[in-house]
Amino acid sequence: MAHVVTSASGRKGRVLAPAFASLGLSGCAGKLSILDPAGPAAQSTALLWWVMFAGALAIMALVLGLVGFAFLKPGWGRDIPPRRWLVWGGLAFPGVVLSALLVFALATGERLLAHPGRPGLVRVEALPHQWAWEFRYPGQSGSTSGVLHLPAGQPVDVAVIGTDVIHAFWVPRLAGKIDAIPGHVNVIRLQADRPGTYGGVCAEFCGVGHAEMSFSVLAHPPESYGAALAAALSLATTAQPEPQETQP
């Protein structure tokens, strides 16, 4: 009977394990997930996350292994001088791991920068207000609110211009975040690999309406971007309320 119970438990575990794994992996997707990248900058960020996650798992496994070994074999390691434990375990090992992660993170950060001087780049302006995002397109009249229009497959520089308080511009599936500081202009480079809609948020608490400061990035096919942007700007202009005349 015990053998039957064990077999049943084993079969149940084999059935439930993939289900729990699928449930956990489903949390890695979504419109605001950095683990579901849709552009070069976001891919670099996701790779950095996975490298740091793998490093953390390796360190945890090593520490737990040493703890388990010491528990199963009491007295193990007593012949090793405490100074050696401190030098190798407390300084050398963490120093090597952290140095490697630092070099990798710096190289990744360099790839995320919007280096100037690249010809032919599309440039837009993002202006945060309490509590909505306004997007302007140099060379075009008008602006859009809550929706940023970009051509897919092309790098786009977004100039984030602070207007009132500190905000943060973040499109997790396309790039990292950058702060919007009053009196400063910070530039971040976005690129969507394919047409689609991508979610964006303000990632810096900016007051009671902070939760309302979400926006969308709409990436159009390059051949239809100009027409789509013109239509969006025309619609935004039409939707603006006309000024009311005041009676004397």
Say whether both 133 and 217 belong to one domain.
yes
pTM recorded for the entire structure? 0.75
Amino acid identity at 120: G
Q: Span 221-247, mean pLDDT?
A: 74
Look up tokens 């039957």; give the residue.
4
Say whether both 141 and 102 belong to one domain.
no
Band (86; pLDDT cuts 50, 70, 90): confident
Say whether both 103 and 135 belong to one domain.
no
Q: How far is CA 98 from CA 51, 55, 95, 105, 184, in A?
A: 12, 10, 5, 10, 33
Band (15; pLDDT cuts 50, 70, 90): low
Q: Which domain holds residue 210?
A: 123-237
Say whether both 136 and 227 belong to one domain.
yes
Say whether both 138 and 174 belong to one domain.
yes
CB of 174 within 8 A of CB of 41?
Answer: yes
pLDDT of amino acid 241: 46
Report how far residue 103's alpha carbon sits from residue 100's, in angstroms, rounded to the nearest whole number. Answer: 5
CB of 54 within 8 A of CB of 221?
Answer: no
Say whether both 102 and 138 belong to one domain.
no
| Nearest residue to 150 via CA among 167, 177, 176, 125 | 125
Say whether both 195 and 218 belong to one domain.
yes
Say whether both 145 and 229 belong to one domain.
yes
Say whether both 225 and 139 belong to one domain.
yes
Say whether both 165 and 195 belong to one domain.
yes
How many folded domains does the chain comprise? 2
Say whether both 232 and 132 belong to one domain.
yes
pLDDT of amino acid 194: 95
CB of 36 within 8 A of CB of 173?
Answer: yes
pLDDT of amino acid 28: 58
Q: Is residue 64 part of a domain?
A: yes
Is the pLDDT at 72 greater than 80? The verdict is yes
pLDDT of amino acid 114: 81
pLDDT of amino acid 18: 56
In this prediction, what percent of the chain has a pLDDT beyond 90?
45
